[in-house]
Amino acid sequence: MAYTIGKLAKAAGVTLETIRYYQRKGLIEEPAKPLQGYRLYPAQTVQRLRFIKRAQQLGFTLKEINELLFLDSGHCEDVRRLAEQKLHQIEAQISSLTALHGALQDMVSGCGSAETDNRCSVIDALSKNGAT
Amino acid sequence: MAYTIGKLAKAAGVTLETIRYYQRKGLIEEPAKPLQGYRLYPAQTVQRLRFIKRAQQLGFTLKEINELLFLDSGHCEDVRRLAEQKLHQIEAQISSLTALHGALQDMVSGCGSAETDNRCSVIDALSKNGAT
DNA sequence: GTAAACTCTGGTCTATAGAACAGAGTCAAG
DNA sequence: CTTGACTCTGTTCTATAGACCAGAGTTTAC
């Protein structure tokens, strides 16, 4: 099953502009244009677009996603090395988000109860040194 | 104690450009320029800059930070609401990252052993439905 | 009292991630 | 076989978060 760009966009839940942008950036391949007619995208491009969107939601930049995508086609050893690198990044990201979560939670729970002066404790907490 | 912009920048660990940018964006107040001479910034601006930087590290955009700062002079409830909103965002982000971590880990451990075809299946693992 | 260092204003420039548009070509349905 | 929908290429525009630069004025240190 093949898609024209509009169908592809609809199937993947992105806009035409996004697809073209990703092509320019090398995140997805631009199928050769038939000498007359429209480009046709293979079904797997839908998956790829979804992958990109998901990874983006997870806080990866397009540049990082591009790297991740390259993992798919390289030698298994390179793949492994890069993937492990990514894993460490993700671990770090999770733990810093977890710390942030705790800090914010503390702030929120202090809020409303510990207003010694007329300022919010959330602001106070953020101005000092707390979560890393 | 008052700071010229350069001292302020050094004290807060930001650049002059950052300070000016924040002024343009209304995140910090631009002191009136004495008819002859340089602007002088009150010491509390250092705190404010640190607050901004800190909040930024915690994933707030300048726009959100501006809101937080604005709300500082308002009701604590509003600040709380914003912080709670952010809290939920962070929770979602953590769980997505955790899912991604699991998927990547599976891939890394399968890599080298389970290459049924000649792909290391990152895309496979993540293009389906896993992390939301 | 001059030179180095700093500040001022205002503009341009960068990267990221697209959105919007113009004018042409192409396809599909009635 | 024409009209409306879609696609093509290329360019410009947006927002975010600053960085950088030039030429002028100001301050500080020697």
Q: Do residues A122 and A100 lie in contact, with contact meaning Cβ atoms separated by under 8 Å?
A: no
Q: CATH says A1-60 is which class?
A: mainly alpha
pLDDT at B73: 57
Section B9-26 average pLDDT: 96
Q: Is B110 exposed, middle or buried (0-12, 13-18, 19+ CB in 10 A)?
A: middle
pLDDT of residue B124 exceeding 70: no
pLDDT at A121: 62
B10: CB within 7 A of chain C nucleic strand: no
Q: Do residues A88 and A116 lie in contact, with contact meaning Cβ atoms separated by under 8 Å?
A: no
Q: Do residues A100 and A93 lie in contact, with contact meaning Cβ atoms separated by under 8 Å?
A: no
CA of A39 to C1' of C27 (A): 12
B91 interface with A at CB cutoff 8 Å? yes
Better-scored residue on pLDDT, B22 or A55: B22
pLDDT at A49: 94
Query: Could you give the ipTM of this predicted complex?
Result: 0.71
pLDDT in tens, B32-64: 988 889 999 999 999 999 989 988 877 788 998
The residue behind tokens 């940018």 is B21
**For residue B58, what are the CA distances in angstroms to B51, B55, B68, B77?**
10, 5, 13, 20
* Per-residue pLDDT tens digits of chain A, which is 132 residues long: 899 999 999 999 999 999 999 999 999 999 998 888 999 999 999 999 998 998 887 778 899 888 878 766 656 666 677 778 778 878 887 887 787 778 777 777 766 655 555 556 665 655 554 333
Domain positions in chain B are 1-74, 75-132
pLDDT in tens, B71-119: 655 566 777 777 787 788 788 878 877 887 887 777 677 665 544 444 5
- CA B119 – CA B63 distance, rounded (Å): 43
Q: CATH says B1-74 is which class?
A: mainly alpha
- What does the angle CA A69 – CA A71 – CA A74 come to, to the nearest 5 degrees? 125
The residue behind tokens 């707390």 is A130
* Partner residue opposite B101 with nearest CB, options A57, A76, A90: A90
The CA distance from B33 to the nearest CA of chain A, in Å, is 27
Q: What is the DSSP string of A25-66?
A: TTSS--PPPPSSS---EETHHHHHHHHHHHHHHTT--HHHHH
Strand D interface, B 31-60, C-beta < 7 A: 34, 36-38, 56
pLDDT of residue B129 exceeding 50: no
- CA A2 – CA A8 distance, rounded (Å): 9
Q: What is the DSSP string of A16-32?
A: HHHHHHHHHTTSS--PP
**For residue A66, what are the CA distances in angstroms to A14, A51, A60, B30, B130?**
17, 11, 10, 41, 19
